[in-house]
Amino acid sequence: MKLITAFAFCLVTVQAFAPKQHQSRHVGSAVRVTSEEIVANTLTDQQPRWLIEDFESGNRDMIKKMEVMLRQAQLDITKAIAEIDGGATFQEDAWERETGGGGKSMVLKDGKVWEKAGVNLSVVHGTMPQVALHAATERGNLAGKDDKVPFAACGLSCVMHPRNPHCPTMHFNYRIFQTSDNWWFGGGTDITPSYIDVDDMKHFHGTLKEVCDRHDPEYYPKFKKWADEYFLIPHRGERRGLGGIFFDDLNDRDPEEIFEFCKDAVNNVVAAYGPIIEKHKNDKFTNEQKRWQLLRRGRYAEFNLVYDRGTIFGLKTGGRTESILMSLPETARWEYDHHPRPGSREADFLDACKTPRNWV
């Protein structure tokens, strides 16, 4: 059984389940941490212990390994983003889940470049109720005799919404999920601009393709197609952006191989996205271009609220609202029956959202 579909997009929302909040603090720069520091048997506001110590599984060590890697990635990515922004720091929220695990949310607000950016880490374990499964999948009764599914999960999720309409929004998520009997990896990185810059898209997709090709030449075309299919807004007949890579239920080879792919992908998020932001963060823009960006953000919100399985899962299971809705932009716009002018850059972008293009 592939239970990952039920949990695949909820690692930012598993903060759900009534976590206990620690005091927030602001982080301006990251410090390298060691595996020993991460797995230390201590609990502090700054470094809570979240490891999957009570979950009985042959792959428990892989979740621990994934946690160490993703904790460092969270520090490295937030440090790089704060440096590119140059005007804001990330607020850090560490939390515990009483029935097992916890997480750390890092959110930047009101920056020079980003209106809002969040990078959330979750490392949790316990049992998943049947209602949670039905919130995220149409598959049959997957629960055990007691109507609960034992699970453990670890993942890092991120959404970044820039101010400038020439700077694209970016999202990524990399995770591992397991039950007592099986395990799966999932994730991906995708981009949502408001305008098409072909060189930007060649760089973004080209970086992702290079990562994929290092591990399997079939990954990029397969995962690019998967992203184009997943991020479709059916009631609009368009995608929320210009795609990237996306994969789920991945357990077709040695877990070490998939782990190394996830590690390579998450550690190249900044390489794929950062140069595009640096290139455009000081671009001049008009009120009309800002209006178009807000309209596209409306599409982003529609997808996340109506179709994203992680959002649905979190809201239907009483999740931590602030973490679930962190992915939404602070400002967006909806206009009745809006259509871009034929032949305009806006119309070209909309066409690319309706008919996915090959950028590399």
- Catalytic residue annotation: 171
Least Cα distance to 185 among 214, 219, 136, 149 occurs for 219
Q: How many CA atoms, within 13 angstroms, populate the side-chain half-sphere of residue 170?
A: 27
Angle at 18 between CA 16 and CA 24, to 5 degrees: 85
d(C-alpha 164, C-alpha 315), whole Å: 30
Question: What angle, rounded to 10 degrees, do the helices at 255-266 and 198-213 form?
Answer: 150
Cβ contact 165:194 at 8 Å: yes
d(C-alpha 225, C-alpha 232), whole Å: 11
Alpha helices in 39-129 (DSSP H): 60-85
d(C-alpha 291, C-alpha 57), whole Å: 51
Cβ contact 184:191 at 8 Å: no
d(C-alpha 187, C-alpha 174), whole Å: 4
Q: How many CA atoms, within 13 angstroms, populate the side-chain half-sphere of residue 151?
A: 30
d(C-alpha 79, C-alpha 117), whole Å: 12
Helix (H) or strand (E) holding 141: none
Question: What angle, rounded to 10 degrees, do the helices at 198-213 and 219-230 form?
Answer: 130
What is the DSSP-derived secondary structure letter of residue 326?
A: G
Least Cα distance to 238 among 298, 151, 186, 170 occurs for 298
C-alpha R_g of the chain: 20
